[in-house]
Amino acid sequence: MMKLLVTGGAGYVGSHTVRVLCRAGHDVTVFDNLSQGHRQAVDAAATFVDGDLGDAGAVESVFAGGSFDGVLHFAGSLNVGESVAQPLSYYRNNVVCSVNLLEAMERHHVRRMVFSSTCATYGQVDGTPVTEETAQVPISPYGRSKLAIEWAMRDSVAAWGLGCTALRYFNAAGAAADGGLGEDHDPEIHLIPIILEVAAGKRDHIQIFGDDYPTPDGTCVRDYVHVDDLAEVHRLAIETQVAGDFRAFNVGTGLGSSVKQVVDAARDVTGHPIPAVHVERRPGDPAIIYADASKAQEHLNWTPEYRSLSDIIATAWAWHRQHPNGFDG
Ligand code: UDP
């Protein structure tokens, strides 16, 4: 049993991970300002602290009150398009807040951490599966802010013995198989939940951002990985983390799916025609990115249970039908 602090534990990937950690017998404290997260998403077995990482005093008091064995750091902003328009808020909310967290960890000698990094740290890649050795040249402020945090962590490994795993997620998708947790962002920006809002009659159509990318059907290719598989890799990472070591793992299925393929799969799953309209490219989007996740498999013994896009979409669709207004209502 470990005593764990989870920042952003009321958010989408955070809440699924908290549930997995609690079920594995860990003692979990969630620290979340509920700007994006939902109090109802936090597992009943976890302790909840309503706090903001931007408030160094609040961060200090949570560390002073608990002797944590490790930290899982999910809190942050994640909207690529918004980061292009408001870069400084991304550097503040991602980089500055993470520095506050790392400073408290150093003061309190907490030397094990798992960080929610992203495939957006790689930027425009060449269309082959991305390995952890692929050069990190992010093309959005979001990706650059996440890469800056990875560097703050690596420098902390060398300077004061932090042990850290950066999990570079590809596209988190789906919902817990029992329908108890799912994705609920306001406003919704991600492809699969927006498509399902069309299927549920809440939107008229899906906008496809760009159809002239150098990909087989002209739309962007991504690697959609189930949120419970992501939750599991966090558990494996924190349980095996040692002080003084930096690790980075890509977390994806290795399967690339285009936006058009996602829409088609959602049409099959929902039985709804899901009208699609082609619009301009969205700034900050790479054409194609999918994972070579063999390193996580080898070092963490992690294999995603969900390997089919349709199965992932089906779990998200079950969540949407049972919770048409997300966690509220
Ligand atoms: N996308 C789209 N229409 C939408 C939302 C997203 O065509 O309404 C595309 C987006 O350009 C990207 C892919 O779907 O190629 C996945 O986007 P999402 O925002 O879900 O995740 P991201 O890749 O930005 O993390």
117-145 pLDDT, tens digit per residue, is 999 999 988 888 999 999 999 999 999 99
Cα-Cα-Cα-Cα dihedral of 89, 90, 96, 101, to 10°? 120
Q: Which residues of the chain have pLDDT under 50?
A: none
Please report the pLDDT score of residue 147 as a whole number. Answer: 98
Pocket test for ligand 1, best of 82, 145, 259 (most atoms within 8 A of CB): 259
Q: Of all atoms in ligand 1, which is nearest to the CA of residue 171? A: 25
Predicted confidence at residue 233, as pLDDT, reads 98
Spatial separation of the C-alpha atoms in residues 24 and 18, rounded to whole Å: 10
Strands 257-258 and 171-173: unpaired
Q: Which domains does the chain have, with CATH numbers?
A: 3-173+224-251 (3.40.50.720), 191-222+254-328 (3.90.25.10)
Top mutation candidate among 142, 185, 209, 281 for ligand 1, by most atoms within 8 Å of CB: 209
Distances (CA, A) of 56 to 59, 76, 96, 99: 5, 15, 10, 10
Closest ligand 1 atom, residue 190 Cα: 20
Look at residues 196, 226, 241 and name the one whose alpha carbon lies nearest to residue 16: 226
Phi, psi values for residue 113, rounded to 5°: -150, 145
Helix axes 191-199, 259-270, angle to 10 degrees: 40
Cβ of 203 closer than 6 Å to ligand 1, yes or no, is no
pLDDT in tens, 188-207: 889 999 999 999 999 999 99
DSSP string, 179-223: SS-----SS--SHHHHHHHHHTTSSS-EEEE-S-SSSTTSS-EE-
What is the predicted pLDDT for the residue at 276? 98
CB 329 within 8 A of CB 262: no
Sort 108 into a burial class: Cβ within 10 Å, 0-12 / 13-18 / 19+: middle
Told to judge if 142 belongs to the known catalytic residues of this protein, a careful annotator would answer yes
Which letter does DSSP use for residue 280 in this model? P
